[in-house]
Structure 1
Amino acid sequence: MSSLFPALSPGQSPARADGPGDRVALRFGPRTLTYGDLAAAAGALAARLQGHGRVAVWATPELETAVAVTGALLAGVPAVPLNPKSGEKELAHILSDSAPSLVLAAPGAELPAAFSGLERMDVDVSGTGTAPDVPVCDGDPALIVYTSGTTGPPKGAVIPRRALASTLDALADAWQWTDADVLVHGLPLFHVHGLVLGVLGPLRRGGSVRHLGRFTTEGVARELNSGATMLFGVPTMYHRIAEALPDDPELAKALAGARLLVSGSAALPVHDHERIAAATGRRVVERYGMTETLMNTSVRADGEARAGTVGLPLPGVGLRLVEEDGTEIAGYDGESVGEIQVRGPNLFTEYLNRPDATAAAFTADGWFRTGDMAVRESDGYVRIVGRKATDLIKSGGYKIGAGEIENALLEHPGVREAAVTGEPDADLGERIVAWIVPADPGLPPSDEELADHVARRLAPHKRPRVVRRLDALPRNDMGKIMKRALVADA
């Protein structure tokens, strides 16, 4: 039996007043499974999966996906969660690369033509059985999660069982996460945030998760006002919450009563932080992670939720900032920008079938190169300023992070959305380009007004030299701005 889920072990269901196994583990809309139900359904599936190689999971936001992944983990079989919105070319690549022995899906789910010839196994959430006693090791693969593929075809990050356990236990320490917590979220289930943190996290703690199916502020208010204690979201969701709060007292009440509000997957703009805090009295905490590393840092539940930072390294995680030549930045001065490198039990083991990419991802002394740029405050808090490839701008001899300029732009009342990139400049090396979506398209702020606004808040050398106005910024499924698309269209 897998030690990843103590609450699913025989006789180890959460010891609560509602009785062993009667505690609700999963709720998706009107459908629920108790720990007893989940142990039976996932156990039956695990018995059917015994002896299989890796399996694909058609990761729709349904009970079946949660049962499928849990059953695979109980069987010691690696699961490959698939985005149901994947295009044909990307899906064909992932299936060819991961070579699953079968695909797990909800009964009745329509699968694309890319699955033709692959055995299908429908997931029965009412099944009854006992998981086989399968010997597993901490280093065994648990999940193969495909990266976004911004610089080529998606790569499959092989995540070992120890990474799941170490990340979830470190977050339990940081967030004081217990079996009494009820998590609400509306995130997709094919990536680390929605699946590992949002589903496997509550199950490891013996708590409960309520999935909205589709994110709405009404759903958040309903669940937090009826017993949920925690909310996980991405910046796009919190931006919608911030926009809705002035006219929604029930939403304000719900957030004010939550024990923990967590944002991740991208930086939450300071402007939205402050709007939510002003309306609810509660601060959103941020954490920092990625597919290959799971979680690296977080603001602690008992720490200062400082807008614009992702807190401190989690227990067991080593983190350093380095110069371009690999020299470690020793100072915690809040100004020296370096690439984040990490090591610890939370890391992936390899990119599937890509020994070249795996080798390139690590330094000679075993640190993973994240490609994220950051500074460290005097107390160790990490503040991410952008991606090395797209957000580090070298202008006039300065190294400038795009993220802090974006936050400054978003503080201007005439700016609804903002992104910052660099482009070649004969004099400066690179000039700062601001891409904005005006709050009022008919009366956008002028270039000079925005440049002066940034210069007053940050420094003159950080002001944008070029301003480009758009109707909307290009974003991916997680709400992250796709800067490569901006640069390509320039």
Structure 2
Amino acid sequence: MLLASLNPAAVAAGADIGDAVRIDGAVLSRSDLVGAATSVAERVGGAGRVAVLATPTAATVLAVTGCLIAGVPFVPVPPDVGVAERAHILTDSGAQAWLGERPADSGGLPHVPVRLHARSWHRYGEPSWDATAMVMYTSGTTGLPKGVLISRRAIAADIDALAQAWQWSPDDTLVHGLPLFHVHGLILGLLGSLRIGNRFVHTGKPTPAGYAAAGGSLYFGVPTVWSRVAADADAAAALSCARLLVSGSAPLPVPVFNQLAELTGHLPVERYGSTEALITLSTRSDGERRPGWVGLPLTGVQTRLVCEDGSIAEHDAETIGSLQLKAPTLFDGYLNRPDATAEAFEPDGWYRTGDAAVIDHAGMHRIVGRESVDLIKSGGFRVGAGEVETVLLGHPAVDEVAVVGLPDDDLGQRIVAFVVGDANADELIAYVAEQLSTHKRPREVRLVDSLPRNAMGKVVKKELMK
């Protein structure tokens, strides 16, 4: 059963938690979740696909849970998405209705409300493990967003592997304030909790004060969240009672890693994943946690690094290769895009992540960045933008940084650093040259007020390359 903690028979027999989910001022017991979500299932049963406006509310929790009970694929739609992008998601997905909340411009789709106090105790059979659970859309950085088909099997495999790596159990209280339209907040945070059976607390906005007050044992955050926690000594100290602090969705700056370790007593767990593959790499609760490294393959995951000439890269912590993987967590293709699906895989079945990485002798992985924007070819050398960014973030005058390769008639690409902070450009260039090989130094440093970011806090480097 995908949502194992919501087994109706077990809940009826007394395996209940009065505060299984806390979100947006609402408190839901397991009995509430089973009864109200089953009522939702009855209202959408038989539908082909429905759209869910993924606000952090009880209505969203019940809409998602109801769809999974009924075996109806749902499409989580970001509440802040633009009109044109939302129209594309609705049209491309073939969603037949809005379930729960809906935007002011509903695109002409009918509306099926979620009634928080309705209850049904109808028993549904468990859908096939191979059935599509949801269609999650990519961020659209390389064109229109693509619908990623995610199966029930992939979700269960990923949560179970993470439970093993993080010693995640029903005794945990999981806290985060992340969006419910991405893998991190929705699949790991909400569905992970409903499968494992731990308490789940959504803080709304992921503020340091909100995290400190939640009293969790397991916290999820993106680097922006953790940098704010690290800047608030009182909030950070309150997290010392937690068991694990997990960071993902973007690289965690080494200085933030070190600050969290000093203030909370916890070395953060870093992990790596994508919409198409879910989480595939992670440091472990009982293993080494090294700043800047995202750990080992989860159970069932295989990885390889492929060099430009097609050879397999050495595991020497230096040789950069294209990261490819095989895993039980992989998606079932892009909706309506057989061409894009075929391009995502090698002929022998390995999935092309589009990320560049290095692996050390122990099998630890470090992500250099996206091959399209983070792998810089300058003067005949291949330079990972992430390595340069890590060094620059170690300079006390640098608050934020993004490194890109811009066209250069002589070098092919020149390394350019966009820096937020009270810094001197020439000093930063010399600083990198002292820390790394000379050819890895930025040829130019541009001081800016801020960096363009998406909803998950990731820097949108395409904006810097225009």
**Counterpart in 2 of 1:141?**
132
Separation in structure 2 between the aligned mates of residue 14 and residue 213 of structure 1, nearest angstrom: 30
**Counterpart in 1 of 2:267?**
283
Separation in structure 2 between the aligned mates of residue 314 and residue 431 of structure 1, nearest angstrom: 36
**Counterpart in 2 of 1:340?**
323
CA contact (8 A) 2:293 2:367 kept: yes
Q: Choose which of 463, 466, 472 in structure 1 pairs with 2:450.
A: 472
CA contact (8 A) 1:6 1:12 kept: no
User: Are positions 1:81 and 2:76 aligned together?
Assistant: yes
CA contact (8 A) 1:81 1:144 kept: yes
User: Are positions 1:175 and 2:159 aligned together?
Assistant: no
CA contact (8 A) 1:188 1:195 kept: yes
SS in 1 for 2:317: coil
**Counterpart in 1 of 2:98?**
103
Separation in structure 2 between the aligned mates of residue 426 and residue 7 of structure 1, nearest angstrom: 60
| 1:11-410 matched pairs, under 5 angstroms | 11-13=9-11, 19-106=14-101, 111-113=103-105, 115-134=106-125, 136-224=127-215, 228-245=216-233, 248=234, 251-329=235-313, 331-410=314-393
SS in 2 for 1:430: strand
1:74 to partner: Cα distance: 0.7
- Look up the equivalent residue of 1:347 and give its one-letter code: L
1:46 to partner: Cα distance: 1.0
**Counterpart in 2 of 1:483?**
461
**Counterpart in 1 of 2:4?**
6
1:202 to partner: Cα distance: 0.7
Separation in structure 2 between the aligned mates of residue 299 and residue 65 of structure 1, nearest angstrom: 31
1:189 to partner: Cα distance: 0.5
Q: Could you report, residue by residue, the CA deviation over 1:268-306 in whole angstroms, capped at 9, with x for unpaired residues?
A: 010110111122221111110000000110000101111
- Look up the equivalent residue of 1:428 and give its one-letter code: L
- Look up the equivalent residue of 1:241 and give its one-letter code: V
SS in 1 for 2:86: helix
1:132 to partner: Cα distance: 4.1
Q: Could you report, residue by residue, the CA deviation over 1:364-419 in whole angstroms, capped at 9, with x for unpaired residues?
A: 01111110110001211000011000000112222111001111111111111100
**Distance change (3 Å), C-alpha of 1:222 and 1:14:** farther
Identity %: 51
TM-score, normalisation: structure 2: 0.97
Structure 1 regions of 5+ residues with no counterpart? none
- Look up the equivalent residue of 2:3 and give its one-letter code: F
**Distance change (3 Å), C-alpha of 1:369 and 1:14:** farther
SS in 2 for 1:80: strand
Moved more, 120-129 or 91-100: 120-129
| Structure 1 vs Structure 2 CA RMSD | 1.4
1:14 to partner: Cα distance: 10
- Look up the equivalent residue of 2:261 and give its one-letter code: A
SS in 2 for 1:11: helix
CA contact (8 A) 2:230 2:236 kept: no
Separation in structure 2 between the aligned mates of residue 465 and residue 66 of structure 1, nearest angstrom: 49
- Look up the equivalent residue of 2:331 and give its one-letter code: F
| 1:403-482 matched pairs, under 5 angstroms | 403-438=386-421, 440=422, 444-445=423-424, 447-482=425-460
- Look up the equivalent residue of 2:232 and give its one-letter code: A
CA contact (8 A) 1:418 1:435 kept: yes
CA contact (8 A) 1:50 1:132 kept: no
SS in 2 for 1:350: coil
Separation in structure 2 between the aligned mates of residue 457 and residue 105 of structure 1, nearest angstrom: 53
Structure 2 regions of 5+ residues with no counterpart? none
Separation in structure 2 between the aligned mates of residue 22 and residue 364 of structure 1, nearest angstrom: 48
- Look up the equivalent residue of 1:481 and give its one-letter code: V
Moved more, 181-190 or 320-329: 320-329
1:344 to partner: Cα distance: 1.6
Number of positions where the alignment pairs a residue of Structure 1 with one of Structure 2: 466
**Distance change (3 Å), C-alpha of 1:364 and 1:278:** same
CA contact (8 A) 1:393 1:400 kept: yes
SS in 1 for 2:9: coil
- Look up the equivalent residue of 1:472 and give its one-letter code: S
Separation in structure 2 between the aligned mates of residue 474 and residue 35 of structure 1, nearest angstrom: 40
1:22 to partner: Cα distance: 3.2
SS in 2 for 1:171: helix
1:133 to partner: Cα distance: 2.3
1:427 to partner: Cα distance: 2.8
Separation in structure 2 between the aligned mates of residue 121 and residue 412 of structure 1, nearest angstrom: 53
Separation in structure 1 between the aligned mates of residue 320 and residue 405 of structure 2, nearest angstrom: 16
CA contact (8 A) 1:156 1:351 kept: yes
Separation in structure 2 between the aligned mates of residue 99 and residue 370 of structure 1, nearest angstrom: 27
TM-score, normalisation: structure 1: 0.93
Separation in structure 2 between the aligned mates of residue 168 and residue 269 of structure 1, nearest angstrom: 26
Separation in structure 1 between the aligned mates of residue 318 and residue 91 of structure 2, nearest angstrom: 45
